[in-house]
Structure 1
């Protein structure tokens, strides 16, 4: 009788320990990842590394588009440092009342592709060898130079907004 009671107690103990471990694993998966809130200046300094990643940015709203409020511009340390935020489906729209207020926006940092970025001679013409005339070669050279010199432009595709 003692063996059965001891065995039963041991089974209950092992079963309960296994359940607690599963619960703690579930909690760690359910908790959202903490995103570091950055200033507009910090985002723009690190933009190339942060492209296509979820970020959180805090800044002052300096402009809200009047036609539907689909985008706003957050100001950094001065009026020359700004980043565009697209409202998207989850945010809906920004309101004119938000101008001048401090917002914290979470979203995905996107890069605007220029014509030079979109034109990739190797991919456009396929893998096969082909002959290019002098004019086409010159055009590809100009596009490549412009692409290297072009300013990279970034914007945020907003997911959530919090007024501070």
Structure 2
């Protein structure tokens, strides 16, 4: 009887040791997995950045998305797309000077500062004055502007006048809904970037 109890006790101790070792191994794996997940989560998806952009202004982030367009005027801007073409953010080259045109149709990872561009009545009045004086900076080949930038800002107009009228209508709608007399467009000023594939 003593031998049976001793064998049973040894079996219980051995099983307990295996369980403890197994648990420690799993917690170590969990720690490694948690660290890998944390490192991966340091890179924001474009959709997530756009959702939280107002709270990220002035902060440095790392984002990754598909580059859909490089500005034809010196490649100073690229546009990164998230889950679909309604989830697009402009990235400006800042002190980098310009982007490699090879970025287009490839995944690009950018580290940079989130900035906000506000369009209000003063901005629109200045744009109108520049358009009348023909000194406004042009993007694209016509006054309709760069189609990629327009899509990122959800613009509908094709002429400067239509675009300004569209912005005024959107500002009025936002003022009625939120009390804010401006539109916010967020972009990233790059500090570094790399083509992923």
Partner Cα separation in structure 1 for residue 185 and residue 122 of structure 2: 12
> Aligned ranges for residues 10-159 of structure 1 at < 5 Å?
36-89=42-95, 91-115=96-120, 145=175, 148=180, 150-159=182-191
Instruction: Give the Å deviation of 1:117.
Output: 8.8
Number of corresponding residues? 106
Instruction: Give the Å deviation of 1:149.
Output: 6.4
Structure with more of its chain in helix, by fraction: 2
Report Cα offsets for 1:85-120 as digits up to 9, x if no partner. Answer: 00011x2211322100111100000010222598xx
Q: Give the match's secondary structure for 2:180.
A: helix
User: Structure 1 regions of 5+ residues with no counterpart?
Assistant: 1-33, 119-141
Partner Cα separation in structure 2 for residue 41 and residue 68 of structure 1: 27
TM-score normalised to structure 2 length: 0.49
Deviates more, 1:148-157 or 1:77-86: 148-157
Report Cα offsets for 1:125-159 as digits up to 9, x if no partner. Answer: xxxxxxxxxxxxxxxxx7x9376264421000110
TM-score normalised to structure 1 length: 0.58
Q: Is the 8 A contact 2:118 2:183 kept in 1?
A: no
User: Structure 2 regions of 5+ residues with no counterpart?
Assistant: 1-38, 124-171
RMSD: 2.5
Partner Cα separation in structure 1 for residue 175 and residue 44 of structure 2: 33
Partner Cα separation in structure 1 for residue 112 and residue 100 of structure 2: 18
Partner of 1:13: none
Partner of 2:195: 163
